[in-house]
Amino acid sequence: NAGVTQTPKFQVLKTGQSMTLQCAQDMNHEYMSWYRQDPGMGLRLIHYSVGAGITDQGEVPNGYNVSRSTTEDFPLRLLSAAPSQTSVYFCASSSVGGVPEAFFGQGTRLTVV
Amino acid sequence: AQSVSQHNHHVILSEAASLELGCNYSYGGTVNLFWYVQYPGQHLQLLLKYFSGDPLVKGIKGFEAEFIKSKFSFNLRKPSVQWSDTAEYFCAVNFATSGTYKYIFGTGTRLKVLA
């Protein structure tokens, strides 16, 4: 029972580098989302998707891109990393029927130097 | 804009003390309400959820929460905390109308329980 799988768990980037955080879920959930968690600020929504081919911006989308080509995968791309993007990133998924309980991945701790 | 407020950012209690964490949201439509817990170094896990019916919901580990619609509140309670309850607690609201399925989280409450 994999649930939501995020990779990598840790990453150090230099300013200006790009990278992709991977997120995959095996629960056939329509809704997937990315959050960043910073001390004292809780979880802030970066981008979300309600199905393949559909994405939308959350609260803090600048500097990040997403795509949703399949139901299972929802990668988050950092185009040109900045120190302000140092954070812990969580991917979550949920169904859109019934009570949409969110299931979270283990998180990616990203440091930009 | 929709928002979720958690008024207590840090709470320190002794074991066996009672706990109540406040959560208020700003949306007048239908909502689903959640409390998540994050133990140190781990991801978020669901404590309990409310979507309809009895406004007093019981979750895991002895936690419960009460939905008061008139106050837009969903406060978390536990009669007697344990050292192992030391964690960060997040209230979350899912806005379930107009095709909107976003989750909005509160800023979290760090609970420290002293043995």
pLDDT digits (tens, 9 = 90+) for A31-77: 999 999 998 888 899 999 989 999 999 889 999 999 999 999 999 99
For residue A58, the chain B residues in CB contact (below 8 A) are: 102
Give the closest of B43, B51, B94 to A107, CB-based. B43
Subunit contact A101:B96, Cβ cutoff 8 A: no
Per-residue pLDDT reduced to its tens digit, B62-85: 999 999 999 999 999 999 999 999
Residue A98 neighbours by CB under 8 Å, 6+ apart? none
For residue A107, the chain B residues in CB contact (below 8 A) are: 43
Question: Residue B104's pLDDT is what?
Answer: 85
Subunit contact A100:B94, Cβ cutoff 8 A: yes
Question: Residue A100's pLDDT is what?
Answer: 76
Confidence of residue A5 (pLDDT cuts 50, 70, 90): very high
- SS3 state at B61: helix
Give the closest of B45, B49, B107 to A41, CB-based. B107
Name the residue among B97, B57, B101, B75 with its Cα closest to residue B6. Answer: B75
Give the closest of B6, B49, B107 to A99, CB-based. B49
Whether the predicted pLDDT of B102 surpasses 70: yes
Residue pair A90/A77 in contact by the 8 Å Cβ criterion: no
Whether the predicted pLDDT of A102 surpasses 80: yes
Residue A73 neighbours by CB under 8 Å, 6+ apart? A22, A23, A24
Subunit contact B51:A99, Cβ cutoff 8 A: yes
